[in-house]
């Protein structure tokens, strides 16, 4: 029987980093979670325990904080700086994942944490170049009408009634792949997020799949630097409560918001003729 080492990598996960810019009386707060992952000539450490080519994960953590001292603009730019720094010698490929946690400004130096929405960037670098994937999670959206679900397939186990008018709610998990690095990262993020929201609001939905495609299509229409969008949309079901036992009607006003189980709709929307993706692992975690 032949046995060999397969694909492998190692790194430091979830380094918590808060940077305060104090250039004037109005401070700027940046709250990040940074994970690094390195791959390369690692056969010796796996097969014989020889660590000569292993850059300690503690060193990777220290590098995150050291590079943060030079300033953080967009998280994509910070991820590029980190990934490129690590690619040398035995490290042939580096992936850096940066999550940005938003805070709402309350004053010149006061802030409040703003919900669960998180901005993401995944940067991969190797000898060929670098690739950037932007993203977000926890963007919760809801339409109270203009959504239906009818004409679906049925079998002996189908009990779901058709819905001519329903609440449509989801928590968007999105990734988008940039075609190149000549990008205004903050502007692109704002444009992508706005496109996702606008499409959700403006689409009459006959299925969550239709809404997903409209959201991805809107991003590609508005942001030419994006080559591909991948979306995962959980269907946050809202069930009309039966109030008849209490002698009450319920004309679409009182719902039970169920957290599980839930439908999960996933798809990619791609631009025709876009450059192919870089290393496949840049989509890891999705």
Residue 81 sits in the same domain as residue 158: no
Asked whether residue 41 is assigned to any structural domain, the reply reads yes
Give the domain CATH number at 89.
3.10.270.10
Q: Give me the residue label for tokens 């870089």.
A: 278
The pLDDT assigned to 274 comes to 76
- pLDDT score of 269 more than 80: yes
Give Rg (Cα) of the chain: 23
Span 186-226, pLDDT tens digits: 999 999 999 999 999 999 999 999 999 999 999 999 999 99
Statement to judge: residues 90 and 176 lie in one domain? no
Residues 274, 159 share a domain: yes
Say if residue 77 is in the same domain as residue 200.
no
Which DSSP category does 162 fall into? P
Output DSSP code: residue 146: S
Whole-angstrom CA distances from 237 to 49, 58, 117, 234, 260 are 51, 43, 20, 9, 8
- Are 166 and 135 within one domain? yes
70 is annotated as an active-site residue: no
Number of domains in the chain: 2
Q: Do both 95 and 132 map to the same domain?
A: no
Same domain, yes or no: 276 and 134: yes
Distance from C-alpha of 37 to C-alpha of 95, rounded to nearest angstrom: 5
Tokens of 223: 């942001």
Whole-number Å distance between alpha carbons of 190 and 94? 27
Q: Does residue 1 form part of some domain?
A: no
Classify burial at 214, counting beta carbons within 10 Å of its beta carbon; exposed 0-12, middle 13-18, buried 19 or more: buried
Catalytic annotation present for 12: yes
User: Catalytic site residue 36?
Assistant: no
Residue numbers of the domain that contains 61: 8-123
Sorting pLDDT into bands at 50, 70 and 90, what band is 174? very high
Domain boundary among 98, 123, 148: 123
148 & 234 share domain: yes
Q: What is the pLDDT of residues 48-94, one digit of tens each?
A: 999 999 999 999 999 999 999 999 999 999 999 999 999 999 999 99
Give dist(CA 54, CA 41) in Å, integer.
Answer: 9
Query: 7 vs 15, 82, 264, CA distance in Å?
Result: 24, 22, 29
- The active-site residue, picked from 27, 33, 45, 57, is 57
Amino acid 159: pLDDT: 96
- The catalytically annotated residue of 61, 85, 101, 237 is 237
267 and 198 within one domain:
yes
């Amino acid at each position: 029987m032949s046995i060999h080492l397969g694909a492998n990598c190692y790194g430091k996960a979830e380094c918590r980093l808060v940077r305060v810019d104090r250039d004037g009386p109005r401070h700027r707060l940046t709250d990040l979670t940074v994970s690094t992952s390195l791959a390369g000539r690692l056969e010796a450490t796996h097969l014989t325990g020889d660590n000569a080519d292993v850059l300690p994960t503690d060193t990777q953590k220290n590098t995150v904080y050291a590079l943060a001292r030079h300033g953080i603009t967009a998280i994509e730019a910070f991820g590029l700086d980190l990934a490129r720094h690590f690619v040398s010698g035995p490290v042939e490929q580096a992936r850096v994942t940066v999550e940005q946690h938003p805070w709402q400004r309350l004053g010149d130096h006061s802030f409040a944490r703003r919900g669960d929405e998180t901005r993401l960037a995944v940067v991969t670098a190797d000898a060929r170049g670098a690739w950037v994937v932007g993203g977000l999670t926890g963007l919760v959206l809801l339409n109270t009408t203009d959504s239906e679900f009818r004409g679906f397939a049925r079998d002996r186990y189908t009990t779901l009634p058709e819905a001519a008018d329903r609440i449509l709610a989801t928590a968007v998990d999105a990734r988008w792949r940039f075609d190149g690095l000549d990008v205004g990262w903050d502007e692109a993020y704002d444009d992508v997020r706005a496109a996702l929201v606008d499409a959700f609001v403006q689409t009459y939905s006959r299925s969550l799949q239709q809404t997903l495609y409209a959201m991805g299509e809107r991003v590609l229409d508005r942001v030419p630097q994006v080559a591909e969008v991948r979306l995962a949309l959980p269907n946050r079901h809202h069930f009309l409560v039966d109030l008849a036992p209490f002698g009450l009607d319920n004309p679409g006003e009182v719902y039970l918001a169920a957290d599980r189980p839930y439908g999960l709709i996933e798809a990619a929307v791609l631009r025709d003729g876009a450059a192919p993706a870089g290393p496949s692992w840049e989509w890891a975690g999705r």
